[in-house]
């Protein structure tokens, strides 16, 4: 069984110092929400082997908070930047997953919510710093959604 935790980045500021969307940092509220999400994962006994994240600042900052709290390495993945079609995105994520291990994926809406919706055949809308835990059979033929954090 493979477990993938799909997470939307935490709340971000509305602009960056240079006006770039990619450089928008998470807000103080976002820091608190990312810490709460990390603690919720810890409370479930989640120990990811890796966290992959969009390279955009708000997503990477969310990933770094989780990495620190969950003692897991975080790395940027351009495929998660919000510009990859959903089929390519899923193929990339599947290739990152390892048997009997937990992977955390941090991305952006609408992509991350649309992907989870397609995988579990139900409407999922992730708010900032929310996550969905999905357990897959080893061949990805079956997916089971666990409850989303409050």
The range of the structural domain enclosing residue 25 comes to 2-145
In the prediction, which pLDDT does 78 show? 95
Q: Residue 41 region, left (φ>0) first, then alpha (ψ -120 to 50), else beta?
A: alpha
122 located within any domain: yes
Backbone angles phi, psi at 131, to 5 degrees: -135, 160
Average pLDDT, stretch 31-46? Answer: 96
Backbone angles phi, psi at 145, to 5 degrees: -90, 130
Distance between CA atoms of residues 59 and 145, nearest Å: 23
In percent, the amount of the chain with pLDDT more than 90 equals 81
97 located within any domain: yes
Distance between CA atoms of residues 109 and 10, nearest Å: 11
Higher per-residue confidence, 72 vs 138? 72
Question: The domain that contains 14 carries what CATH number?
Answer: 3.40.50.1240
| Banded model confidence at residue 47, pLDDT cuts 50, 70, 90 | very high
The model carries a pTM of 0.94
């Amino acid at each position: 069984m493979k477990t993938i935790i799909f997470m939307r980045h935490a709340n971000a500021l509305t602009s960056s110092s240079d006006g770039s969307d990619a450089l928008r940092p998470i807000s103080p509220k976002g820091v608190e929400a990312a810490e709460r999400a990390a603690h919720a994962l810890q409370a479930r006994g989640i120990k990811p082997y890796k966290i992959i994240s969009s390279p955009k600042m708000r997503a990477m900052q969310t990933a770094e908070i989780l990495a620190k709290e969950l003692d897991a390495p975080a790395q940027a993945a351009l495929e998660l930047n919000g510009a990859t079609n959903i089929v390519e995105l899923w193929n990339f994520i599947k290739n990152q997953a390892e048997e009997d291990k937990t992977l955390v994926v941090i991305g952006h809406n609408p992509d991350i919510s649309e992907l989870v919706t397609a995988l579990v055949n139900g409407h999922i809308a992730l708010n900032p710093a929310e996550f969905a835990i999905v357990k897959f059979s080893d061949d990805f033929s079956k997916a089971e959604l666990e409850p989303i954090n409050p």
